[in-house]
Amino acid sequence: MWKDKFLTYIKELDSAYERGLLEKEQGPATV
């Protein structure tokens, strides 16, 4: 049970982290 919650938490962190990186990279690059 706790493993599922943990995995979900990790996945959410991962996607949020990736989105943050993409946004940071695209910002200066497109300007």
Tell me the pTM. 0.52
- How high does pLDDT run on average in the chain? 83
Per-residue model confidence as pLDDT tens digits over 19-30:
888 777 766 655
Q: How far apart are CA 3 and CA 11, in angstroms?
A: 12
pLDDT band at 9 (very low <50, low <70, confident <90, very high): very high
* Cα–Cα dist 1/8, whole Å: 11
Give the mean model confidence (pLDDT) for residues 9-28: 84
